[in-house]
């Protein structure tokens, strides 16, 4: 039996296409037996007018799995549902609209929508629904009083309740099947999402741990040398690694994988830099609670880290406490970051643009990477501004 249901299933089919193909094969078999039983019942009731139409359907039913195999599920779908419309239209035409056989259009339409109610098959759904709509309009208007075979009162008492009960029962069964399938798919989707969340959490946890190991190795290496330049280079690397590790740590703790609370991130980053640099500066932070996309969080974190550590290194004066001000705001779908110190600034604007140091090269490269814009000026110290577009701006309440 499973072999029959799999007729027409192809290796390149996705899940919904496999399910559609198998359902068509199953319903063609069920329909064949239903039509056969209906034919026997009508013959027993000596209602012979529909016999030729039933025979046509019985002859066409085996072609549904064959079309699945030869031409694919779309051809089989058209044949199956046109067969359904044909037998309902024919029965209503023969026995009249008052026989209520047209009620069977409703379970047929529900089945059609459940089968191909998808974006990929929308065109075919509209075509078949138009066929049904035209059929119902013709039966309920032009052929409303048409009766090919006059039914006795006894036959009417049989056909009308039969049409009402069976069509209602079929509709109810289909609704229950659709509901059950939706619940099953919902459970599967939730399971897959939960699995992906766990995998992402585990990935971020491993990345965070690996970066912590790198930081520890840099600290160990730092303790083995007295060379000032080497120590400074190792500290720079350690700050950069920490700024990236902090993002993964926040993602893991908050279980958020699409956006990051930049205010929370900056607060943790500033505390770490202050601690490592010896609390020699007074840092003021004025930030809005802005959610920044994860793909832009790492570059932004590295940029802020470079500018802050640069201020600690070069903006201190012997006669004045170093003050650093960090502002973050969201405006017009863009993130604006301003970092200012009260140091001596830079003597020549060309110095920054021509500088080949790793820090300045990194800032320029990262700004380009996130389609950001960087500018600076001397304004009672060094003032840097960065603005970048937010693909999914969202502000916390």
Q: What is the pLDDT of residues 20-36, one digit of tens each?
A: 898 888 888 888 888 89
Q: Is residue 77 part of a domain?
A: yes
* Co-location of 135 and 19 in the same domain: yes
Average pLDDT over residues 273-294: 83
Q: What is the CATH number of the domain that holds 344?
A: 3.30.565.10
Residue 151 scores a pLDDT above 60? yes
Confidence of residue 79 (pLDDT cuts 50, 70, 90): very high
Tell me the pLDDT band of 157, cut-offs 50, 70 and 90: confident
Q: What is the pLDDT of residue 125?
A: 93
Choose one of 118, 151, 184: the last residue of a domain: 151
The answer to whether 245 and 218 are in contact (CB under 8 A) is no
pLDDT value of residue 256: 65
Report the percentage of the chain scoring pLDDT > 70: 93
Domain that holds residue 33: 2-151
Whether the pLDDT of residue 61 is over 70: the answer is: yes
Q: Is residue 166 part of a domain?
A: no
Return the ∠ at Cα 26 (arms to 21 and 28), rounded to 5°. 95
Does residue 244 sit within a domain? no
Higher pLDDT, 129 or 248: 129
Mean pLDDT of the chain: 83
Better pLDDT: 282 or 256: 282
Counting Cα atoms < 13 Å in the Cβ hemisphere of 22 gives: 13
Per-residue confidence band for 222, with pLDDT thresholds at 50, 70 and 90: confident
The residue-averaged pLDDT of 282-290 equals 85
**Is residue 17 one of the residues assigned to a domain?**
yes
318: Cα separation from own chain's centroid: 56
Same domain? 264 vs 397: yes
Number of domains in the chain: 2
Helix axes 15-44 and 51-60, enclosed angle (nearest 10) = 150
Does 269 reside within a domain? yes
pLDDT at 195: 86
Instruction: Confirm whether 232 is domain-assigned.
Output: no
Residues 9 and 128 grouped into a single domain:
yes
Radius of gyration of the chain (CA): 36
| Residue finishing a domain among 120, 151, 182 | 151
| Least confident span in 211-220, 349-358, 382-391 | 349-358
pLDDT of residue 354: 52
**Final residue in a domain of this structure, among 97, 118, 151:** 151
Tell me what the mean pLDDT of segment 299-311 comes to: 87
**172 within some domain:** no
| Residue 353 scores a pLDDT above 70 | no
Residue 174 inside a domain? The answer is no
């Amino acid at each position: 039996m499973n072999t029959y249901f799999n007729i027409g299933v192809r290796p390149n089919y996705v899940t919904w296409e496999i399910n559609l193909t198998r359902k068509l094969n199953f319903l063609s078999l069920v329909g064949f037996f239903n039509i056969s039983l209906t034919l026997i019942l009508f013959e027993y009731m000596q209602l012979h007018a529909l016999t030729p139409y039933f025979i046509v359907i019985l002859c066409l039913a085996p072609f549904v799995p064959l079309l699945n195999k030869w031409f694919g599920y779309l051809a089989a779908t058209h044949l199956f549902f046109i067969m359904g419309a044909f037998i309902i239209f024919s029965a209503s035409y023969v026995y009249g609209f008052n026989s209520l056989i047209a009620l069977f259009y409703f379970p047929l339409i529900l089945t059609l929508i459940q089968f191909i109610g998808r974006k990929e098959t929308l065109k075919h759904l509209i075509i078949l629904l138009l066929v049904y709509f035209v059929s119902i309009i013709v039966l309920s208007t032009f052929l409303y009083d048409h009766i090919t075979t006059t039914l006795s009162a006894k036959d009417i008492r049989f056909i009308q309740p039969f049409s009402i009960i069976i069509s209602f029962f079929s509709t109810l069964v289909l609704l229950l099947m659709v509901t059950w399938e939706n619940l099953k798919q919902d459970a599967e989707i939730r399971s897959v999402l939960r699995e992906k969340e766990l995998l992402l959490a585990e990935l971020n946890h491993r990345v965070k741990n690996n970066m912590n190991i790198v930081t520890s190795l840099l600290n160990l290496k730092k303790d083995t040398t007295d060379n000032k330049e080497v120590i400074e280079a190792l500290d720079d690397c350690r700050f950069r690694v920490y700024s990236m590790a902090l993002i993964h740590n926040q993602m893991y703790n908050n279980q958020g994988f699409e956006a990051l609370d930049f205010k929370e991130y900056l607060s943790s980053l500033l505390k770490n830099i202050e601690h490592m640099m010896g609390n020699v500066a007074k840092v003021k932070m004025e930030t809005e609670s802005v959610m920044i996309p994860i793909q832009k969080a790492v570059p932004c974190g590295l940029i802020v880290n470079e500018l802050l550590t640069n201020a600690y290194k070069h903006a201190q004066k012997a006669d004045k406490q170093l003050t650093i001000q960090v502002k973050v705001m969201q405006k017009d779908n863009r993130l604006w970051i301003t970092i200012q110190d009260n140091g001596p600034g830079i003597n020549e604007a060309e110095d920054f643009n021509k500088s080949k140091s790793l820090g300045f090269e990194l800032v320029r490269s990262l700004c380009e990477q996130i389609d950001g814009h960087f500018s600076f000026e001397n304004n009672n110290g060094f003032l840097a501004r960065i603005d970048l577009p937010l693909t999914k701006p969202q502000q916390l309440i």
